[in-house]
Amino acid sequence: MLVPAIAPNTTSEFAADVREGLTLRGQKELPSKYLYDEVGSALFEVICHLPEYGLTRADERLLRRYANEIVDRIAGPIAVAELGSGSGRKTRWILEALSRRQRTSYYPIEISRSALVMCERELRDIDSLSIVGFEREYLDGLCEIAQQRKPGQHLLVLFLGSTIGNFDRPQGVKFLASVRQILAPGDSLLLGTDLEKPAAQLVPAYDDALGVTAAFNLNLLARINRELDADFDLSQFVHLARMNYWARSIEMHLQSSRRQKVSIPAAGISIEFKEGETVWTESSHKYSLEEVRRMAVAAAFRCESQWIDEQWPFAENLLIAQ
């Protein structure tokens, strides 16, 4: 079941965000959430299977290995809300562990309708599970779900895959605090965080040999062409992934190969690009275990436990709302 969208990504909002990001002084930017239209979501599913991209496999290994232990640490009865479910494949382990002990309501929250459809298809075979998808922004969807909870029911919020890393560090803490404000004491958040590792291991994960990540990034310009009637020539932009050592993050950019002008009629702008100029499309911040614990405390959570994957350093962190 899919709850109808309350216009989370109207054309006018998309146009306004594109106009704001591309007219910034200095570094041009585009919000990373717009990478995930139907084409982008499908490309990201392919990225998750690439040999260079170990993050998703680490996430899945931890969830598969420790799902029962994670669930046992949470007081019930429990309803599950997931921020950015994607296809829902890695969520299966938690939901199966929960559904063996209770009937479970699962609420995936996504801005991509196609991702919600994939998620429902992936998980509908689990016994004792009901699925209601919310096509919303994360916090809007979570507010709606929290307001519908039954008396005495706890919420388990899943924020997996290190999506928290798309925020810069202060904004990441602010986002966690916003989630906490929606929750009640005793509710829980299972937070995935990619841990610090050498650039030689990280950069190829965001610039794979097959060029799938490049296609994923360039699709953002193709989406602007499709939805906002722009005239980006994709052959004149290249995908860049580079390490920002100061921020401890990987950045994805789209670089203009020549001096050019692009018209975006639905956004009411024409944008000039210099040769070599980039548009910053996404960051992925990496963390230490102690840093995650500090973030939790700053957002009014208690870090109950951390499970670590050693093959690709990654952590699942169980945070309890204080």
Distances (CA, A) of 138 to 81, 85, 192: 10, 10, 16
pLDDT digits (tens, 9 = 90+) for 223-257: 999 999 999 999 999 999 999 999 999 999 999 99
Q: Is the peptide bond before 51 cis (omega within 30 degrees of 0)?
A: no
**DSSP conformation class of 166:** G
Q: Kindly provide the b/e burial profile for residues 110-129, where b requires at least 16 CB atoms within 10 angstroms of the residue's own CB.
A: bbbbbbbbbbbebbeebeeb
Show the tokens assigned to 312. Answer: 């690709």
Is a pLDDT exceeding 70 seen at residue 261?
yes
Show the tokens assigned to 293. Answer: 């614990």
Average pLDDT for 133-161: 94
What confidence score (pLDDT) does residue 3 get? 54
Query: Mean pLDDT lowest for which of 53-57, 74-78, 196-200, 313-317?
Result: 74-78
Q: For residues 5 and 135, is the Cβ–Cβ distance under 8 A?
A: yes
Q: For residues 266 and 228, is the Cβ–Cβ distance under 8 A?
A: yes
pLDDT digits (tens, 9 = 90+) for 5-60: 444 447 899 999 999 999 999 999 999 999 999 899 899 999 999 999 999 999 99
For strand 249-256 and strand 237-244, is the pairing parallel, antiparallel, or unpaired? antiparallel
Q: Give SS3 for 72.
A: helix
pLDDT digits (tens, 9 = 90+) for 262-308: 999 999 999 999 999 999 999 999 999 999 999 999 999 999 999 99
Rounded to two decimals, the pTM is 0.93
What confidence score (pLDDT) does residue 25 get? 94
pLDDT digits (tens, 9 = 90+) for 210-220: 999 999 999 99
Rounded CA-CA distance 55/204 in Å is 12
Strand runs (DSSP E) across the chain, as ranges?
2-3, 28-29, 78-83, 104-110, 129-131, 133-135, 154-159, 188-194, 237-244, 249-256, 260-264, 269-273, 278-285, 301-309, 314-321
pLDDT digits (tens, 9 = 90+) for 65-119: 999 999 999 977 999 999 998 888 899 999 999 999 999 999 999 988 888 998 9
Residue spans of the domains in the chain: they are 55-197+286-321
DSSP of 245-265:
TTTTEEEEEEEESS-EEEEEG
Q: Give SS3 for 298.
A: helix
What confidence score (pLDDT) does residue 8 get? 47
Residue type, 96: E
Residue type, 26: G
Is a pLDDT exceeding 80 seen at residue 196?
yes
Among 245, 41, 280, 285, smallest CA distance to 164 is for 285
Is a pLDDT exceeding 70 seen at residue 62?
yes
CATH class of the domain at 55-197+286-321: alpha beta
Mean of pLDDT over the chain: 94
